[in-house]
Structure 1
Amino acid sequence: MESSDLYPVARLAAAREATAAAGLGALLLTPSPDLRYVTGYEALPLERLTCLVLPAEGEAFLMVPRLELPAAEHSPASRLGIEFVPWDETDDPYAVVGARLGAVGKVGLADRMWAMQSLRFRDAIPGAEQVLAGTVLRGLRMRKSAAEVAALREAGAAIDAVHAQVPGFLRAGRTEREVGRDIAEAIIAAGHSTVDFVIVGSGPNGASPHHELSDRVIQAGEPVVVDIGGQMPSGYCSDSTRVYSVGEPPADFVKYYDVLQRAQEAACAAVRPGASCESIDAAAREVIAAEGYGEHFIHRTGHGIGLETHEEPYIVAGNTEPLAPGFAFSVEPGIYLRGAHGARIEDILVCTEEGGERVNHRPRGLVIV
């Protein structure tokens, strides 16, 4: 997949138009998913300032430490036709930005900008109100292009290939950490550039949604929640959860796993343009609550995904945002019996003109190994 498809030159103009429409004088994008989204440049987050300055009116420019200039010039940002402004160790790049930008009433800062940088900008651009750039870019970032959807499909296939190997890693007597190490290696071997997270929750640890890994020894007859994801070379992320059991699981677990599977199916079936984010959450929650497990579903049903594993839109009660074609998000209801065991089933879906497309295709039934 060409970087020009994932990071088109036209995106800079779209971001500028969104900046003007929001009443901002400029966006200031330091190394972050925001910067990569607009420019394609995956800059290193350093104490030395790298920053795209995108005025609502006027020419954009990229402040870059001189020692990082070769990397910037070899990135997709070089196709944008903007000025690169290198600065030296004795320069004050914040003052340079302030002087070149001039008086503005409001600026949008990259959501992941460090506090020390935002405070330096506050001093360099006095009187300018600072807001999150995410409020400007959210509308663009939520609606994935055809190239972005293709990148998410690629990420989904890669993480599916890892889940296909998980039964071979699980057996009684191994620790969660040992299994996690094998999974991490498989994530890279499947084509990811980084491992973002590996959750292996055995027995009671499966009731902690963000448990990750421990030295706990997996026992026979225990369910194991495996939630894994990473970032592909494209910059786009994978995230998928499946549940396994080392031998025959407890009867009470089998009962609520069936409920969970029906809930996840109901939520996926509810995905369509115009449906609210909260309605997808409700579709899953209603099935679980009707069977008496409502208090054990303790998190939102999903989160957006793209250049970040967690981004907008969030599939949660209170979010009335209507789904639109190109929205990509997880559907991952869970049931957690504290002190005993838990389960979660997660797929990434893309809203299409007709409904919802899953990018994960591994079986969702309980896998007994």
Structure 2
Amino acid sequence: MTTESADLYPVTRLADAQRATAAAGLGALLLTPGPDLRYVTGYDALPLERLTCLVLPAEGDAFLVVPRLELPAAEHSPASRLGVEFVPWDETDDPYAAIGARLGGVSRVGLADRMWAMQSLRFRDALPGAEQVLAGTVLRGLRMRKSPAEVAALREAGAAIDAVHAQVPEFLRAGRTEREVGRDIAEAIVAAGHATVDFVIVGSGPNGASPHHELSDRVIQPGEPVVVDIGGQMPSGYCSDSTRVYCVGEPPADFVKYYDVLQRAQEAACRAVRPGVACEAIDAAAREVIAEEGYGEYFIHRTGHGIGLETHEEPYIVAGNAEPMAPGFAFSVEPGIYLPGAHGARIEDILVCTEEGGERVNHRPRELVIV
């Protein structure tokens, strides 16, 4: 166990989650492999059809149910520091029934947000009198406010993806396909220190008008803008996500016009970040600049999303979310303008709310890069 891991996944998280469970009126949390389990225990368990589940009662001792063949991995994970009982089960056992018997007559349970449907239905049979709710409603307040160690992990992730964007001009040139460029970028993401590549978007020309464009065999043409949105997960478990726009040669005049608008919108949203400001106000700060210049209908998504152990998590920077910013909130600011059939652009940085305002963890230039 490294000091870094101990800081990222402190033993106090278990008690914090248990108090939140009790405060929410739940009898227990049932956390299967995924970000909720990793957040509470540090255990990055394999998502298998065989049940692995942390059972965290509102009162009493937590226990971790694991398939016997996964017991060594669990024992070598950060979960071993928590003092929880490890309960291995064999191939002919019914772990759902065993959990139901130990929990008894709980009336409400929180299921991990990423729990498989087959598992939630098995728990419904094992706990027939228990209402099922999302564990995220309990854990959101903990997960949204990043600790200093989590912020440091996000800074590391930001620096790693910035290093990849610094290489993108080497990969982009007319005559190459989006897929060829994307393959080079994916290799660079791993080389920069990421454990996994989560996504690589290379949207050239009209494909740049599709925010979540998949890599294709389209050949990049001279004079085309290219949207490059990339991210991955670091060994720490924390994620990167950053978008920059490039142009292969001289850009179209109409593109240059609205790219300037987009830069001003992204800057306005970043400046709006400070404690107490509603998430929707940050969205509005970007949207107002774009709308005033006549491009409002072409900004078709929210301004941002939270980030941490998941690329997309709370808080969401979107109209209707009145959640006030608080120190430790980490999220993207990524307004975009998309002209169907022509081209598009998006500028994305990850920010952390501090006592003073918003700290960017991405530092690559936001100006259009001409290659």
Q: Deviations over 1:267-294 (max 9, x none)?
A: 0000000000000000000000000000
SS of match in other structure, 2:308? coil
Distance 1:363 1:267 in 2: 17
1:79 deviates by: 0.2
SS of match in other structure, 1:188? helix
* 1:111/1:132 contact within 8 Å kept: yes
Q: Deviations over 1:176-208 (max 9, x none)?
A: 000000000000000000000000000000000
1:164 deviates by: 0.0
Distance 1:263 1:179 in 2: 28
Distance 2:70 2:55 in 1: 17
Identity of aligned residues (%): 91
Would you identify which runs of 4 or more consecutive aligned residues in structure 1 move more than 6 Å? none
Distance 1:51 1:79 in 2: 17
Distance 1:289 1:312 in 2: 26
Matched ranges for 1:1-369 at <5 A:
2-369=4-371
Structure 2: tracts of 5 or more residues without a match: none
Distance 1:121 1:203 in 2: 49
1:212 deviates by: 2.5
Distance 1:64 1:3 in 2: 22
Distance 2:25 2:294 in 1: 49
1:299 deviates by: 0.1
Distance 1:58 1:17 in 2: 11
Distance 1:113 1:163 in 2: 34
Count residues with an aligned counterpart: 368
1:166 deviates by: 0.1
1:356 deviates by: 0.3
Q: Deviations over 1:295-351 (max 9, x none)?
A: 000000000000000000000000000000000000000000000000000000000
TM-score by length of 1: 1.00
Distance 1:12 1:52 in 2: 10
SS of match in other structure, 1:362? coil
Q: Deviations over 1:57-80 (max 9, x none)?
A: 010000000000000000000000
Distance 1:360 1:296 in 2: 25
Distance 2:18 2:105 in 1: 17
Distance 2:6 2:82 in 1: 10
Distance 2:256 2:208 in 1: 14
1:148 deviates by: 0.1
Distance 1:200 1:32 in 2: 28
Distance 1:117 1:39 in 2: 20
Distance 1:174 1:280 in 2: 37
Distance 2:71 2:106 in 1: 28
* 1:197/1:212 contact within 8 Å kept: no
Q: Deviations over 1:206-265 (max 9, x none)?
A: 000000210000000000000000000000000000000000010000000000000000
TM-score by length of 2: 0.99
SS of match in other structure, 2:220? coil
Distance 1:80 1:219 in 2: 56
* 1:284/1:333 contact within 8 Å kept: yes
Distance 1:161 1:134 in 2: 33
* 1:15/1:137 contact within 8 Å kept: yes
1:12 deviates by: 0.1
SS of match in other structure, 2:301? coil
Distance 1:192 1:163 in 2: 14
* 1:277/1:316 contact within 8 Å kept: yes
* 1:230/1:238 contact within 8 Å kept: yes
Distance 1:22 1:134 in 2: 11
Distance 1:288 1:154 in 2: 31
1:355 deviates by: 0.2
1:135 deviates by: 0.2
SS of match in other structure, 1:167? helix
1:109 deviates by: 0.0
Q: Deviations over 1:45-102 (max 9, x none)?
A: 0000000000000100000000000000000000000000000000000000001111
* 1:175/1:215 contact within 8 Å kept: yes
1:108 deviates by: 0.0
Structure 1: tracts of 5 or more residues without a match: none
Distance 1:116 1:198 in 2: 30
Distance 1:103 1:146 in 2: 39
SS of match in other structure, 2:44? coil
Distance 1:212 1:296 in 2: 20
SS of match in other structure, 2:259? helix
Distance 2:99 2:129 in 1: 15
1:126 deviates by: 1.4
Distance 1:363 1:256 in 2: 17
SS of match in other structure, 1:274? coil
Distance 1:354 1:105 in 2: 43
Distance 1:309 1:337 in 2: 26
* 1:261/1:364 contact within 8 Å kept: yes
For the aligned residues, what is the CA RMSD? 0.3
SS of match in other structure, 2:137? helix
